[in-house]
Amino acid sequence: MNAPVNPENLKSGATRRELVVGTALVGGALLVGCSPGDLLSIGAKTDFGAFGPFIKIGADGVVTVVSKHIEFGQGNHAGLAAIAAEELDANWSTLKVEQAPAIAKVYANLKMGVQGTGGSSAIANSWTQLRQAGASARAMFVEAASNKWNLPAGEITVKDGVVGHPSGKSATFAELLPDAAKVTPPKEPKLKDPKTFTLIGTDRVRRKDAQAKSDGTARFTQDVHLPNMLTAMVAHAPRFGATVASFDATEAKKVAGVVDVFQIPSGVAVVAENTYAARMGREALKVTWDESKAEKRGSKELTAAYTGWAAGKGALPEKTAWQGFETKGDFAQAPKGELFEATYDFPFLAHATMEPMNCVAEVSAGKAKLTFGSQIPTVDQLNTAKIVGMLPGAVEIETLFAGGSFGRRANFQSDYAAECVQIAKKVGKGRPVKLVWTREDDMTAGYFRPLTHHNVKVVIGADGYPVAWRHRIVTQTLMKGSPIPSKGLDETTVEGAKGSPYLKAIPIVDGQALLPDVGVPVLWWRSVGATHTAFVMEHTIDQLARKAGKDPIAYRLALYDKAGATRHTAVLKLAAEKAGYDQPATAGWTRGVAVHECFGTVVAQIAEVKLVDGAPKVGRVVTAVDCGVAISPDQIAAQMEGGTCYGLSAAMFGQITLNNGVVEQTNFDTYRVLRNSEAPHVETYILPSGEAPSGIGEPGVPVIGPAVANAILAINGQATHSLPIVKA
């Protein structure tokens, strides 16, 4: 890192000038793509115990694993803890999990370079790190026992937090702790042979938070109540890009419990003694908006424009061009054959987490503390630091359980957290402020999965398989506002089409993306690019199989064979076997198949579907998954079940529409989501694997949509060209 300032000089007691330099420097570090962990951690506490930043052992011998990743449902706390516990041979039943503070230097996501959770990377990036942490602590106990008992370290065993020797000598972690803590940690601790794992891969690896989440004691941001705390709500503009022209707070201030009303960059804040007062105060507030720069296009206009551009009609918007993502051969020179053409339209989607966005902030001179479900703490520190004028590393973040995210909380602008910091800064004196968004705030605030259009042209060869494939995708980039300027195409917009085994198997491919600038804030949405690319690839392939008169599984397997996609082949064969594909489906039901790789994990599903009053009902869904070493089979199944519901909810019902720039859905009465009676029964089968683990939080989402569309195709021959399937 070419830093002109010695970070050692930038302690938390830095002068104002140093603060400014530090902030500029951190921005610069991000801009040149350096790993900013060290700089971003200046001012943070870094004193850890004898066993390092990931493992704490109490005087009672109870092991606590420190998770650098937020837990918002995906079960990573169980998996992360199990990795360390396995190598440490800790007592799993008493083991606890604790959330790490924000210190990028030690808790960075090794796939991101900053502290954060996303891209289904928690387990994958922690695998070696936590194995080493556990193995190191284990070696320290072994050495302590070896010294104490004067016996060779190689003969000493550890099981369930008890250190022992065949001679009968035995001591608990608690008993050996004072000695073990003095042992110098080994530089390269020896890791177990995975074949000898006794915890990983067993049904003992269960959630550690199930009790607290079943008795009401699990603490979410919404539940934070601090002495002297104020609650804030913000009036936001009805259209994206509009700003406050003026406001009249007379009536709002008359509401009992309202403390103050003031303007902040994102709107007008109403600060009150409690949530209800804040809400009533905001209802009484009058705001006039300047909409001169607001986005006024609606979903219909955007869909029409995208469709035209993809079809080659009309001039492309300024400063845009088609960018290639897969190019092989020349589509114009493709051999003659039957032409298949299809377009697919996907709406904006809200994440619609159960807990609407919220945050608690305390700001005083030289101090800022945030308490909330922070998904990318480093970015939240950086954005907070810019607002309050201090070093990012000195911004304290206490990360709580979050009531879902699905991508919403990983935001380059830290939108709602920054909003809370703005309010807390104005309130000042370190007085805690809880920002509460209503469901309506949450649903209309944007950061949607972008509205997306696909245009696919396929030349079919004499054998019924594609010989040339042209694929155009029109969508918005997700990297707008990123501190790291993207070089070339934003890959999140095309992933899943790019890298598809089908395209690998086809001789001529022309994949292109167009990313127009639209004033609607967009963001990753659980499984990201695959939310649309998986549907297009899998539904198109099924239509091609049908045209060729071939079985959809056999058709796929032939293409996987050509592409060398052995993992796809394996999961599809496993799913077919478990579904009893050689036998008829359950009477009255029709099968639909889909397969997709997402964040390194391959999922195949065979869904049984029937139409009830024209709408699909999904019953049994056989799922096969290859995610490398399975740490918690139970939580892998849970993510397949939940991911399937999340994907099915979007495919069946999910849509945010804009009319003249105004979001039309405001709550669950108009944004329909899957309910219990509509949930399928998911059976999960895990492919045995010795490979390093890949992600599990997202890959279960994108497969069910095309599986259902493929079943409908099998039922009535109708292809699905726009989502959601059930029109409002």
Partner 1 sequence: MATTLDVNGKPVTVKAAPETPLLWVLRDEIGLTGPKFGCGIAQCGACTVLADGQPIRSCSMPISGLAGVKITTVESLGGNSALQQAWVKNDVPQCGYCQSGQLMSATALLAAKPKPTDEDIDAAMDGNICRCGAYQRIRAAIKDAAGMTPAAPAKA
619 binds partner 1 (CB under 8 A): no
Cα 269 to Cα 287: distance, rounded to the nearest angstrom:
11
- Closer by beta carbon to partner 1, 355 or else 495: 355
Binder of partner 1 out of 214, 228, 333, 583 (CB under 8 A): 214
6 binds partner 1 (CB under 8 A): no
Let me know: does 385 contact 391? Beta carbons within 8 Å: yes
**What is the closest distance, in whole angstroms, from the C-beta atom of residue 556 to partner 1 in the complex?**
22
- Closer by beta carbon to partner 1, 660 or else 689: 689
Let me know: does 680 contact 648? Beta carbons within 8 Å: yes
Binder of partner 1 out of 226, 256, 339, 728 (CB under 8 A): 256
- Closer by beta carbon to partner 1, 408 or else 498: 408
The CA-based angle 11-433-226, given to 5 degrees, is 90
127 binds partner 1 (CB under 8 A): no
**What is the closest distance, in whole angstroms, from the C-beta atom of residue 50 to partner 1 in the complex?**
33
Q: Which stretch binds partner 1 (CB under 8 A): 87-95, 123-131, 601-609, 627-635?
A: 627-635
Structure tokens at 247: 């406001």
Binder of partner 1 out of 56, 69, 77, 207 (CB under 8 A): 207
Which sign does the torsion angle of CA 415, 418, 424, 425 carry?
negative
276 binds partner 1 (CB under 8 A): yes
Q: Which stretch binds partner 1 (CB under 8 A): 27-35, 169-177, 213-221, 652-660?
A: 213-221
Binder of partner 1 out of 41, 477, 649, 657 (CB under 8 A): 649
5 binds partner 1 (CB under 8 A): no
Cα 367 to Cα 387: distance, rounded to the nearest angstrom:
12
Q: Which stretch binds partner 1 (CB under 8 A): 128-136, 151-159, 606-614, 675-683?
A: 675-683
- Closer by beta carbon to partner 1, 403 or else 661: 403
634 binds partner 1 (CB under 8 A): yes
**C-alpha distances out from residue 681 to 31, 178, 609, 713, Å:** 47, 51, 11, 21
Binder of partner 1 out of 12, 129, 147, 438 (CB under 8 A): 438
Cα 507 to Cα 256: distance, rounded to the nearest angstrom:
71
676 binds partner 1 (CB under 8 A): yes
586 binds partner 1 (CB under 8 A): no
Q: Which stretch binds partner 1 (CB under 8 A): 24-32, 383-391, 473-481, 633-641?
A: 633-641
3-state secondary structure of 722: strand
**Containing H/E element for 342?**
strand 338-346
Binder of partner 1 out of 274, 307, 413, 660 (CB under 8 A): 274
Binder of partner 1 out of 113, 116, 356, 705 (CB under 8 A): 356
655 binds partner 1 (CB under 8 A): no
Binder of partner 1 out of 304, 489, 673, 715 (CB under 8 A): 673
**C-alpha distances out from residue 35 to 3, 111, 113, 262, 396, Å:** 12, 11, 6, 38, 20
- Describe the chain by its helix, strand, coil percentages, rounded to 5: 35, 25, 45
Distance of CA 282 to the CA centre of its chain: 32
- Closer by beta carbon to partner 1, 714 or else 726: 726
Complete DSSP assignment for 191-215: PPPGGG-SSTTSTT---SSTTTTTT
Can you give the C-alpha Rg of the chain in angstroms? Answer: 27
- Under 8 Å CB-to-CB from 204, ≥6 apart: which residues? 92
Cα 511 to Cα 504: distance, rounded to the nearest angstrom:
12
Binder of partner 1 out of 484, 662, 679, 719 (CB under 8 A): 679
Structure tokens at 93: 């039943």
259 binds partner 1 (CB under 8 A): no
3-state secondary structure of 574: helix
**What is the closest distance, in whole angstroms, from the C-beta atom of residue 402 to partner 1 in the complex?**
7
**What is the closest distance, in whole angstroms, from the C-beta atom of residue 308 to partner 1 in the complex?**
35
685 binds partner 1 (CB under 8 A): yes
Structure tokens at 399: 């990360």
**What is the closest distance, in whole angstroms, from the C-beta atom of residue 441 to partner 1 in the complex?**
10
422 binds partner 1 (CB under 8 A): no
Cα 428 to Cα 367: distance, rounded to the nearest angstrom:
10
DSSP single-letter state for residue 134: H
- Closer by beta carbon to partner 1, 249 or else 645: 645
355 binds partner 1 (CB under 8 A): yes
225 binds partner 1 (CB under 8 A): yes
110 binds partner 1 (CB under 8 A): no
Cα 706 to Cα 708: distance, rounded to the nearest angstrom:
5
Binder of partner 1 out of 126, 132, 353, 375 (CB under 8 A): 353
Cα 317 to Cα 313: distance, rounded to the nearest angstrom:
12
Let me know: does 630 contact 201? Beta carbons within 8 Å: yes
**C-alpha distances out from residue 301 to 237, 357, 472, 661, Å:** 21, 29, 19, 10
Q: Which stretch binds partner 1 (CB under 8 A): 151-159, 283-291, 395-403, 611-619?
A: 395-403
222 binds partner 1 (CB under 8 A): yes
Number of residues counted as binding partner 1 (CB under 8 A): 68
73 binds partner 1 (CB under 8 A): yes
- Under 8 Å CB-to-CB from 89, ≥6 apart: which residues? 138, 158, 159, 160, 161, 198
675 binds partner 1 (CB under 8 A): yes
Contact residues: partner 1, CB under 8 A: 72-75, 203, 206-207, 209-218, 220, 222-223, 225, 231, 256, 274-276, 352-356, 401-404, 406, 436, 438-440, 633-635, 637-638, 641-646, 649, 667-669, 673-677, 679-686
